[in-house]
């Protein structure tokens, strides 16, 4: 009975996600859904990427957060239009939240929309929102067992950013194991090691974004 309810919820969600997707295609925007555990560095990495992309592309950001506008304020400061979704108690964004959010861009022509999901390794991977690609950020501070423990997000993502690699000398995490376990779950996943602190890998990430934009 409970499983039936969950299935109904996911099906209703997917149908809204498809109609969001159609609207995004019509707008010409490519949409990236950015997911990670709390504190993996989504917002910091996003800010770094936006600064490198904003002169060449029109970008909008949708920020998901339980209760605050802290992240949205940071994005606004660098001059990118941003829409805030406060989920209340919900631990993920869903397609209906996105359907209600993107009209706030008020018909602006956008090349890229980046959706920053709620910090959570589980449910955000279950709820499509109409994105073209899911991007997952995994901080090495979380240890090397996360692909096995949270497999769905690794399976669903097109790109895995392994973050905070500047801390590796103090952690000694088995990064090769993270990569090989992620590849076992999802042989097609691209993997880039990044550090917002040293800038390592950021150019590769920007190149990845550019190469995945919809042709206009």
Tell me the window of 21-29, 63-71, 174-182, 187-195 that interacts with its own copies (CB under 8 A).
63-71
* Residue 167 binding its own copies, by CB under 8 A: yes
- Binders in 127-146 for its own copies, by CB under 8 A: 139, 141-143, 145-146
Q: Contact at 8 Å (CB) between 37 and 139? A: yes
Q: Contact at 8 Å (CB) between 115 and 32? A: yes
- Binders in 65-124 for its own copies, by CB under 8 A: 65-68, 70, 89-91, 118-123
Residue placing its CB nearer to its own copies in the complex, 198 or 210: 198
Q: Binding its own copies by CB under 8 A: which of 39, 79, 103, 199?
A: 39
Residues 6 or more apart from 108 whose CB is under 8 A from it? Answer: 58, 60, 81
Smallest separation, CB 162 to its own copies (Å): 13
* Residue 175 binding its own copies, by CB under 8 A: no
Alpha-carbon distance of 129 to 132, in angstroms, equals 9
* Residue 23 binding its own copies, by CB under 8 A: no
* Residue 150 binding its own copies, by CB under 8 A: yes
Residue placing its CB nearer to its own copies in the complex, 94 or 132: 94
* Residue 210 binding its own copies, by CB under 8 A: no
Smallest separation, CB 166 to its own copies (Å): 8
Can you list the pairs that 10-18 forms with residues at least 24 positions away whose Cβ atoms lie under 8 Å? 10/126, 10/127, 13/94, 13/95, 13/96, 13/127, 13/128, 14/95, 14/128, 15/95, 16/94, 16/95, 16/96, 16/99, 16/130, 17/95, 17/98, 17/127, 17/128, 17/129, 17/130, 18/130
Residue placing its CB nearer to its own copies in the complex, 15 or 68: 68
Terminal-residue alpha carbon distance, the chain: 46
Residues 6 or more apart from 116 whose CB is under 8 A from it? Answer: 34, 42, 43, 46, 61, 62, 63, 64, 71
Residue placing its CB nearer to its own copies in the complex, 59 or 161: 161
Rounded to the nearest angstrom, the gap between the alpha carbon of residue 30 and the centroid of all alpha carbons in its chain is 13
Residue placing its CB nearer to its own copies in the complex, 41 or 201: 41
Q: Binding residues for its own copies, per CB under 8 A? A: 5-6, 37-39, 65-68, 70, 89-91, 118-123, 126, 139, 141-143, 145-146, 148-152, 164, 167, 170-171
């Amino acid at each position: 009975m409970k499983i039936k309810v969950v299935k109904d919820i996911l099906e209703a969600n997917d149908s809204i996600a498809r109609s969001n997707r159609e609207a995004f295609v019509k707008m010409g925007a490519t949409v990236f859904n950015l997911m990670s555990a709390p504190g993996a560095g989504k917002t910091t990495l996003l800010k770094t990427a936006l600064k490198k992309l904003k002169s060449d592309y029109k970008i909008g950001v949708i920020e998901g957060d339980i209760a605050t506008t802290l992240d949205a304020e940071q994005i606004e400061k660098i001059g990118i239009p941003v829409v805030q979704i406060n989920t209340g108690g919900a631990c993920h964004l869903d397609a209906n939240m996105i359907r209600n959010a993107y009209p706030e861009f008020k018909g602006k022509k956008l090349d890229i929309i980046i959706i920053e999901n709620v910090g959570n390794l589980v449910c955000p991977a279950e709820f499509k929102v109409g994105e073209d690609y899911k991007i997952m950020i995994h901080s090495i501070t979380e240890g090397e067992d996360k692909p096995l423990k949270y497999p769905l997000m690794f399976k669903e993502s097109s790109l895995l950013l392994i973050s905070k690699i500047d801390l590796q000398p103090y952690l000694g995490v088995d990064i090769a194991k993270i990569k090989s376990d992620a590849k076992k779950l999802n042989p097609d996943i691209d993997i880039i090691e990044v550090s917002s602190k040293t800038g390592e890998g950021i150019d590769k990430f920007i190149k990845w974004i550019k190469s995945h934009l919809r042709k206009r």
